[in-house]
């Protein structure tokens, strides 16, 4: 039988590393609030974040209730990876140019 009421013992059944693995493989996603997203974005201000969203340069928030919005952690991580890949491509291109001279 499954427990009808969650308790500390039942909540501790899934080890943290498994939760991290699920999140890393895309099997899990969570919502990030603005205060979590702003530092992850690297933008210095909320106004810059809003401009980047408006221009399609950063993932749009998801309305989770009236007056509340959040971002998909997976989408923010994908955005970060894309930015890193763009930087690496530029560095590789510059390295190739230096090697050919």
33-58: pLDDT as tens digits: 999 999 999 999 999 999 999 999 99
Total of domains in the chain: 1
Torsion of the alpha carbons at 19, 34, 66 and 29, rounded to the nearest 10: -20
Asked if the structure places residue 2 within a domain, the reply is no
Asked if the structure places residue 80 within a domain, the reply is yes
Structure tokens that stand for 11 in this block: 């909540």
Low-confidence ranges of the chain (pLDDT < 50): 1-3, 10-12
- Rg of the Cα atoms in the chain: 19
Q: What is the pLDDT of residue 5?
A: 54
Domain that holds residue 73: 27-100
Asked if the structure places residue 3 within a domain, the reply is no
Query: Global pTM?
Result: 0.68
Whether 31 contacts 74, CB under 8 Å = no
The residue among 88, 75, 78 whose CA lies nearest residue 31 is 75
Asked if the structure places residue 13 within a domain, the reply is no
Task: List the 31-32 sheet strands across, edge first.
Answer: 31-32, 68-72, 62-65
Please work out, in degrees rounded to the nearest 5, the angle formed at the alpha carbon of residue 74 by the alpha carbons of 72 and 9. 85
Q: What is the pLDDT of residue 92?
A: 93
Asked if the structure places residue 92 within a domain, the reply is yes
């Amino acid at each position: 039988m499954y427990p009808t009421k969650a308790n500390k013992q039942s909540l501790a059944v899934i080890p943290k590393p498994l939760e991290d693995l699920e999140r890393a493989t895309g099997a899990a996603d969570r919502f990030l609030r603005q205060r979590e997203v702003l530092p992850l974005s690297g933008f210095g201000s909320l106004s810059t974040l809003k401009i980047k969203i408006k221009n399609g340069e950063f993932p749009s928030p998801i309305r989770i209730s009236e007056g509340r919005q959040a971002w998909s952690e997976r989408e923010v991580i994908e955005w970060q990876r894309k930015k890193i890949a763009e930087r690496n491509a530029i560095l590789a291109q510059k390295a190739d140019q230096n090697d050919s001279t």
